[in-house]
Structure formats: C-alpha cells, structure tokens
Structure 1
C-alpha cells in the first residue's frame, strides 16, 4: 500500500494503557507493516494493533485517543503536538475503509441487477416466449372458432357473408384449385381481402364482380396466402391483443369479446402489408397462374405493380382455365348481384 510506505518511518510519543485500571505509560507509537506498533522507551513492543481495526474514541477532539476495534478499554493517547501521526493514522484508516468490500452496496447492486433482469425478461422475453408456446398448443378447431368469431364481427360492418348456393359451389372449386382453405365473400368490406385464423380468407365482392376473369380474384387469394405464410394470423391477433389476452387464451382457451372486437376493427382500418415479392411470384408459379391480371387490377397503369408484370412466371406460357365460364358467372353472382 503506497500510504504505508509513506509513513513507514513516522514515530510519535503518546500515553498508553492496557486497561482502565492500569496506569498510563509513555510510549513510542510507530507505523509498521499494516500495524500500529506501541513500544516502551526501551524499544520493546508492548502491543501491535491492526491498522484495519484501529478506531478513534474522540473524532475531531484533542488529544486524540485511539483503541483497537471492539476493545475500547485499551487506549493510546496522542498529544496535540503529534498532529502528523494523528493525520497519518486517520489517512490510513480512510484508505483501508475505502478498500474494504461494501456488503450493503453489493447487496443493493445485486437487488437492482435482479430487478432489471426480471424486468427485461418480462418486457422482452416473456411475451414472445408465451406467444410462441400458445401458438404451438392452440388446436386447429380453436383457430377455426377464432376465425369464425372475427368474421362475425366484420359482418357487422360489411353485411352478412354472401351465400348464393351456385356462387358458393363455384367458390369452393376455386379454393380447391388454389389449395386455399376456406374462402368467404362479403358485400361491403373496407379491405379488398383479409386472412383470418383458421385458414380463412375473406374477399370483398368487388374483386369478383369488377373484373372479367377469375385470375384476378385468384391473385388476391394467392397474395393473402403469401401474407399468411409470412406471419401466422393468430400471432398477429395476439400481438395486437396483448399479453393479457395471450395468457387468457393459453389458460382458458378463449379470447375476450372486447379483444376480438378491437382486432376486427384493426383489420378493417389498417392497410395490409406488402407481401414479399419473390414469395408472391412463387405462389403464382406453383398455381400456374398469371400474375399480370392481378397486377393491372391493383393498378390499371401498371406503374406500381410493374414487378408483378415483368416477373409473371406464366408469361408466354399457355395456362389452363381456373374454372369454367359457367362457374365464373355463378361466382360473380355469389352476392345476388
């Protein structure tokens, strides 16, 4: 320790007594190797006090009185003229005190670290982990039920699902051809298409009635399938609904009506995310479907959908009709129009 070396040759006279009943003796006080050495005038050591355990009985008073920690009965008194020794002892005591471990501070730091760790886990890790676990345990029948419940809420705004029997039969043929799962058509939806939990794709009647060929509506279906591939619709719902509804679904198998209402509103008012172009074109290629009719349906100028036009996987190839003309006419009349 640098401070010990500084005071290694320092000595002072003082009065020492081993106990309150003993007479005080004149002694020489010196600083040794991490100890305060008390010797008689013949240089015979009377006591060695550890510097780490030296206490002052009368701080800021003179003459300064020191004693070993825990034993105030043994004292050494340094007179006013021995200020250098007093300052040396006080300096060494401060240095040693600073170098001691601080259990309270360490405990406080440990508590704060633990709290921050728990908060981090709760904020960042827990929601994702709980969501991942929930998605793995929710059965298909429950996903179907959630999708049906959302559809009912969307119907409150758009009107009931179009149900012309001939149109439904034609729609089922299209779904089978595209391997799309369940399809539904609504009369006045605020979005052109949506995908819901339970492999359910919902279409607005305009994507069927406003165009001359079924390739357009098929393009909307394939685009929703691309979006569904990129993000599980039940995950999307849970992200919007929050941790509480996630926990409710995991423990009770239900989502509150309020959460379903809020998510249905979210679906109807939030613009759809653009699908990954390469995945979207791969869907068209696997279905042997032209992407150009869908691209011009989205933008009649083709400016914003040029990538779909130039990347059309069926460009220059002959394709089989999706469905017969008769079934296409039936599908166009699915909403009774």
Structure 2
C-alpha cells in the first residue's frame, strides 16, 4: 500500500482563500489522485486542485500550518489538524522524486566538503607539481640552478679559488674523472671539508681537501663519491622543496630560476649529513676509470666524514687489487699547482 492509498479516505477541515488579501473560508481537504482537493465545507463544491508534489509549506514546524501551490503564492491553505498535516507531509515525501546527493547536503556539509577538498589539494598538489617540474626540467636549467647555488655559497664568508695553473690542473682532473659536462669550484670556508654536488653537474670542493688528500687519486675518490650521491635521488627535488610551491610553479611556467628563493640552500645542504651510495656502485666507477679505490679509502685524513661506512667495502672491493702500478691522474707539477690554487 502506498502512502497515497493509505490516506485516500482521510479528510479534514481547513481555512482557504483564493488570494492572500481575501478572507479565508472553511473548506474540506482530502486527497485525490496525486492531488490535494479543496472543497467548500457547505456545498462540497470543489474550489481548487493542488498537485501534491507542488504543495509548499510556508512555516515549517509552526501551527497553524500554511500552504500554497508552487508558483502561485496567491492561494493559501491553513491547517491545524495534526493528522492531516502529518499525512500531507508523508504523501508529499512519497511522491517526491529522489533527491540528488548534492541536494541533500546543507550549507555546513558543503563547507566541510570544501575544507576537505582544499586540504586534499594542499596535500597532493605540491608534491605532484614538484615531481612533474623535476621530470621536465632541462639540463641547462638544472645547471643554472647549480651555478646559482654555488654563487650563493660564495656570497658569505666563503671565497672561490682561481689560480690559473691550479685551475688548469683542476680541469685536467675533471676531464679524466667525471663523465658528464660539469663545473668544479674550489672554495675556502665551507661548513664541512668534502666535495658537494649540486644539480646540473656543479661541484664545490672544500679547499681543505687539497691539503688533506695525499694524491690526486685520493681526491678523485671524493669526486666520484659526490657524483654517486647525485645519482641516489634527483638532486633538484630538495631544491624545489626549499623554494616552495609557488616558486616551483613559476619555474615550471616561465623557466626563470628564482635566485632569491635559493638563498641559504647551499650552505644547509653542505652542513646536512650526506647519503651514501652502495659500495658496488662506487666501485664500478673506479673500475671504469682503471683507478684504485685504496688511495681514497686509505687516505690518512678522511676526505668525507660521512663515508666511514663505505671505506671497508672500498678496500675489499678495490678493482685494481694485485696490480703493481696504476696510472697517475696528474703529474707531480699539476698536483702541486692544484694544491696551491688558492694561493694566487
């Protein structure tokens, strides 16, 4: 049995007027075929038919209840009969079309959904944007970022060394050790004595390493370690985290490197503990260059304070073990010139 069948014989008394300003008259109200039938209480002449789904109540939860047909606010029906009021609401609910989920939501629900959406965007969008930017960033832009970071490092108390003969020796070492276009800088006054790599193949060598290293081959090991670190994860990702979402978006859309936003990253990067590559990965680079890993691993002073855990593996896996001679990367004169690059 439908709600309409249930109340088909129900009728009650109400007050009705054809216009708001007219005096209301007593009427009999009952249910027709999906309609509300309003009849004169004396003559039982039908005065009006209202479509049940179109009946609208003006004052929910108040008594007497006031109704009008949708689209025609002139007619007014006043009911005080609780049975009739409840029946009318039940029949209307049964005849109403299913409401869409968004129609069921109140203003508060929309507010909650809005906040959840914003929170989701805030959590998901920045990492996705940074990853996409890192994926599409050309090498030239990466190199520019690395250069700007090295420049920022030199804007404080650090000083770049540029002796001509030392520079020539450094270039000779670079050509023999590193397998991509790179830029090497020797800098005095960095926070930690090691070789630090930046995006785009830019390497900063702390000048103290030139005194600490027993040979060019030992220094080459420090360069290879820095190179291997750059391949553990994309070195540009932490830079994008440093500059933030809006600057990353600007970099992606315009290609312009936000120099001011890079301030402070290089120094913090040098101070932070550096990750270690697998010993096998690093040994494969030594082997490709026909270099022994022992000069780096056995250097009297450690050339990288974070590399202790690697040294035993580098000694045990030396690709040149058992060979009586290995090639020299630099002549004695070149090595001395490199060690004195900061003296001129």
Offset, 1:221: 0.5
Offset, 1:30: 3.6
Per the alignment, residue 50 of structure 1 pairs with 51
Question: 1:179 and 2:182 equivalent?
Answer: no
**Any gaps of 5 or more consecutive residues in structure 1?**
none
Distance 2:328 2:4 in 1: 94
Q: Which secondary structure does the structure 1 equivalent of 2:186 belong to? A: strand
Equivalent in 309, 316, 322 of residue 304 of structure 1:
309
- Relative distance call for 1:204 and 1:130 in structure 2 (3 A) is closer
User: In the TM superposition, what whole-angstrom CA distance separates every residue of 1:286-322 from its partner, at most 9, and x where no partner exists?
Assistant: 222223432344489x972233333434444566323
Question: 1:263 and 2:262 equivalent?
Answer: no
Moved more, 277-286 or 235-244: 235-244
Q: Would the aligned equivalents of 1:162 and 1:186 in 2 still touch at CA under 8 Å?
A: no
Q: Would the aligned equivalents of 1:159 and 1:186 in 2 still touch at CA under 8 Å?
A: yes
Q: Which secondary structure does the structure 1 equivalent of 2:7 belong to? A: coil
- Relative distance call for 1:185 and 1:106 in structure 2 (3 A) is same
Distance 2:241 2:24 in 1: 82
**Any gaps of 5 or more consecutive residues in structure 2?**
none
Offset, 1:218: 0.8
Q: Which secondary structure does the structure 2 equivalent of 1:157 belong to? A: coil
Equivalent in 111, 125, 130 of residue 128 of structure 2:
125
**What's the TM-score, normalizing by structure 1?**
0.70
User: In the TM superposition, what whole-angstrom CA distance separates every residue of 1:135-183 from its partner, at most 9, and x where no partner exists?
Assistant: 2284588457536624633xx4344415262x43333322221135333
Distance 1:26 1:188 in 2: 99
Q: Would the aligned equivalents of 2:142 and 2:236 in 1 still touch at CA under 8 Å?
A: no
Distance 1:328 1:149 in 2: 26
Say what the alpha-carbon RMSD is for the aligned residues. 4.6
Equivalent in 193, 199, 202 of residue 200 of structure 1:
202
Question: 1:280 and 2:286 equivalent?
Answer: no
- Relative distance call for 1:220 and 1:19 in structure 2 (3 A) is same
Distance 2:38 2:188 in 1: 102
Per the alignment, residue 170 of structure 1 pairs with 169
Equivalent in 309, 321, 326 of residue 320 of structure 1:
326
- Relative distance call for 1:67 and 1:323 in structure 2 (3 A) is closer
Number of residue-to-residue matches in the alignment: 326
Larger helix proportion, structure 1 or 2?
1
Moved more, 82-91 or 291-300: 291-300
Q: Would the aligned equivalents of 2:185 and 2:203 in 1 still touch at CA under 8 Å?
A: yes
Q: Would the aligned equivalents of 1:163 and 1:334 in 2 still touch at CA under 8 Å?
A: yes
Equivalent in 217, 242, 249 of residue 215 of structure 1:
217
Per the alignment, residue 148 of structure 2 pairs with 146
Distance 1:177 1:130 in 2: 32
